[in-house]
Copies of this chain bind each other. A is one copy, B any other.
């Protein structure tokens, strides 16, 4: 958006509506992420996101083109993916533990936990949300992990590990089923790290 366009909607400005600055864009993405977390993909509308961010719906469309575009960008920028990337690098023998430790940390940090929930909520939605999440997971998680592993069946291995982490998020954090939800984090890490390690670097009966 140009500076001229920025200054155009005077009436909107005086009524407290935001215009197209980077801060506005970030506010829209934040409002969108909260809506995806609370109401899922089907329950989220451009209009409601615009209202929550204090902008005109046309501005949301201007920035993101469509609800799908908004969703993809909210997921891409709003999820702590780089945090997970940071857990990949290091000694291969400690990969399983690093991943589960970082993953649990993201769920248990108030700044990121609700974003993880938004991802889970959307992943369990019908298409197109599930398609968009799949593309996101492949690009942002599967490809970096495969590059690190550099072995046969690297993608299958990474997805087996992902399945364990996703299910842990569901049972411990989304459904909050006791006593798993109350298990001390270090005990949980010690239980789950060997599973991830075996999937990622152990002997698996994979052929073809």
Contact = CB atoms under 8 A, between A and B. Distances in A.
Interface of A: 38-40, 42-43, 120-121, 123-126, 130, 133-134, 137-138, 142, 155-156, 159-160, 162-168, 170-172, 174-180, 183-184, 187, 190-192, 194-195, 198-199, 204-208
A121 to B, nearest CB: 5
Contacts of A195: 164, 195, 198-199
Contact of A205 (B38, B175, B177, B191): B191
A158 to B, nearest CB: 9
Nearest to A205: B190
A177 B137 contact: yes
A43 B41 CA distance: 11
Given A39-B42, A156-B179, 18 more contacts: A40-B125, A42-B42, A121-B124, A123-B124, A130-B174, A130-B176, A134-B175, A155-B179, A156-B180, A159-B180, A160-B191, A160-B192, A162-B167, A163-B170, A163-B172, A187-B206, A191-B205, A191-B206
Oligomeric state, in copies: 2
Main secondary structure of the interface of A (DSSP, over half): helix
Contacts of A180: 155-156, 159-160, 163
A208 B123 CA distance: 34
A18 to B, nearest CB: 28
The 10 closest A-B pairs by CB, nearest first: A167-B167, A124-B124, A159-B180, A163-B167, A166-B167, A190-B205, A163-B171, A163-B168, A134-B175, A195-B195
